[in-house]
Chain A
Amino acid sequence: MPDPGVVTIARKEFFDHIRSHRFLILLGILLLVVSMGVLSGTADYHAKVKQYDSIQKSVSSSPGGESSLPAYLEYMFVKPSVLLVFYKMSLLFVMIGGILGIAMGFDLVTREKESKSLKILLAHPVYRDEVINGKALGGIAAIALALIIVLVLAFGILLIAGIVPEGSEFLFISLFALATFLYISTCFAISLLMSTICEESGKALIYSLVLFIILTSLVPTVVSTPLAMKTIIGPQPEMPQVLADQILASVPGSGSDASGSAAQADAPATDPNQDLWDRYNEQTREYGDRQMRLRDIQYLFSPAKNYEKITTCLTSPDMIRYMLYFTMIESPLQKTDAQGQELSATIAYMPDLSFDESGLLSLIAGNLIALLVLPSVFFGLAYVRFMRMDIR
């Protein structure tokens, strides 16, 4: 049972939040953009359903049916899900949800220092941990309330549009809501930490935004640089000269980039270099897998990237491999064209991922755990900092 001190403080903080102009304005903006997102997503959903129906009709009437089309178009045969509507919402949440979380936490402690109420609060019979835990709980409860309002609105619009989610879609929508809640809570925890570190609210806001930007943009970018990639996952496999020559020979004029995969696909069954092709393709695939794993790991440190990956997997799984994993691996052919430009062969890498329910859940499990760990770490740091704070 929670301590009454925590409950008293959490209740006060919760009502402070939901009565503040800041919260109401941000909630209003959130409701507005979510309405627009859901309406636009609903239109997209209807369009995709229509497209799906027409593809189904045309494919079923063509000789060979679905098997006559290339594998990379398989997503076109998946019936569109209601979750597609939530995809647009997630795009909006990345920015507005982050701002909401930061706006709710950056002055929770600094405001008490500025109004001199912290000293009088701590002079009452409450432990310091009750104060910081109460503040965190009050903020989290307000975030949960905002999300519930937003989801109720989204469901309302869906029902008005005649779209009713089915069975497993409810599970995915619940996970979507959980991920959104954890993401906003992470941003809230970042700003709460800064509020315990800084003496002034202005500084706490700036530092919160700086840390948010670093985690959202800088960390994934730094690890994605060619130098970092090469250092961490090793060099890209080199294409054997004989294969490069084969590609160059197959491209008339050799005036533009050649596609290795296309060249391989066009190679005759009795290709004398087949073993070399197989080995090179295997090495390239392993390299692509290493790149994918590295990208997955670096995303774990970024709240926004974790959230993007989870919500994209849940709401628009056909996009995930193109958005996150589809990579063009370029190999120089050691030859220049007439204009002196280096010629290269580009191989498209696509991981072998399963997009059924369990496959998707295993794909996002790490990110969900990361979104649990990240706010816990920031709350933990805020807790330690607050407990050690000098009250003078």
Chain B
Amino acid sequence: MIQFDHITKEYGGVPAVDDLNAEIPSGEIFGLLGPNGAGKSTTILMLTGLIEPSAGCCRINGTEVATNPIAVKRHIGYMPEDVGFYPLLTAEENLDYFARLFRMDARTYNRRIPDLLSLVGLDGVTKKVGGYSKGMRQRLGLANALLNDPAVIILDEPTANLDPQGVADYRRIISGVAQEGKTVFVSSHILSEVSRVCTSIGLLSKGRLIAQGRWEDLSRQLQAGGSSRVTIVIEARDPIPELTHPDLVSATYSDDRRNATLLARSDISNAVIDTCTRVGVRLHGIRKEGVSLEDLFLSYYQAGGVPDHA
């Protein structure tokens, strides 16, 4: 079980994580979803005892991380984003080294390391890690996170560098360990990835947890809130000015500002055409589109919360 108890981390007075409060029961695959800079990695660093929180605390299986980091580290497996290993050692030598740091007995890790390498598809690879692709390092990172047979597995952007086969393998492995009763904490900014593997999610925006719950519940809330939304795609010959409207939720412009995608609470096409005509912008076309779940998440990140329709 993972518990965040009003945890805050500030850098130079600016909160990277702000009063995060959550509880993740054992056997859960929890996805922490948020855009880059939302505070996901900072949350994970506090959870793994690599940095100390400015306020609050987090606990793993009842043990406070900041005050007992070594005890906690014995029972967690961690794969950081952009994972790195010792380039002059082979995968087996790297895992052998880390197994010794876990103070595992030689017989256990001599049996476990080949099994794990086989599990992540690196069995038979004898070259040194310096010659690995990013995807291979990520696979090795996953093997390392499982090395001590941890009760809690913490993965930061685990599929960032994986190929489709690697992603499929990762999903299979994660589902397998969750079935064994282990808790998996996954951080990602890829909604589709989180939605495929996680049983519950938390939405992190600007360091604050703006929503948390079962994936099905949250997506239902979003769909319900999003049924009244509309996406408007504009193509123009001239640069489009900054558009404003009371029903406009978010607007994304291309670099040359000749294309824009608007998310609005109602069809504001006529208002957009009026504004563009008034300032002399010649339009190529304007069309309405359905709203994707990704767009809905984006709009709620920007708005700072999920509508309570459930």
Contact = CB atoms under 8 A, between A and B. Distances in A.
B37 interface: no
Q: How many A residues are at the interface, by size bracket?
A: 20 to 34
Nearest to B50: A391
A120 B144 contact: yes
Interface string B96-136: 01101111000000000000000000000000000000000
B80 A119 contact: yes
Given A4-B103, A125-B74, A116 B84 contact: yes
A124 B83 CA distance: 14
A334 to B, nearest CB: 66
Contact of A123 (B73, B88, B97): B73
Contact of A122 (B50, B74, B86): B50
B48 interface: yes
A357 interface: no
A119 B87 CA distance: 15
B101 A115 contact: no
Contacts of B74: 125
Contacts of B101: 5, 8-9, 121, 124-126
A279 interface: no
Contact of A391 (B45, B85, B87, B98): B45
B198 to A, nearest CB: 22
Contacts of A392: 41-42, 45, 51
Contact of A124 (B45, B71, B73): B73
Contacts of B78: 120, 123
Interface string B173-203: 0000000000000000000000000000000
Contact of B141 (A9, A12, A120, A125): A120
Interface string A114-151: 01110111111111000000000000000000000000
Contacts of A127: 70
Interface string B71-83: 1011010111011
Contacts of A121: 98, 101
Interface residues of B, number: 30
Interface in A16-72: 16, 19-20
Contact of B88 (A16, A122, A391): A16
A5 B100 CA distance: 8
Given A8-B101, A123-B80, A117 B70 contact: no
A126 B71 CA distance: 10
Contacts of A122: 50
Interface in B38-70: 41-42, 45, 48-51, 70
Contacts of B84: 115-117, 119-120
A390 B78 CA distance: 18
Contacts of B50: 119, 122-123, 391
B165 to A, nearest CB: 24
A117 B86 contact: yes
A50 to B, nearest CB: 52
A197 B103 CA distance: 30
A135 to B, nearest CB: 13
Contact of A115 (B85, B102, B103, B141): B85
Nearest to B51: A391
B102 A116 contact: no
B147 to A, nearest CB: 9
B47 to A, nearest CB: 10
A19 B128 CA distance: 14
A115 B88 CA distance: 11
Given A115-B84, A116-B82, A391-B45, A124 B102 contact: yes
12 contacts: A4-B100, A8-B101, A9-B101, A117-B84, A120-B141, A120-B144, A121-B98, A121-B101, A122-B50, A126-B101, A390-B51, A391-B50
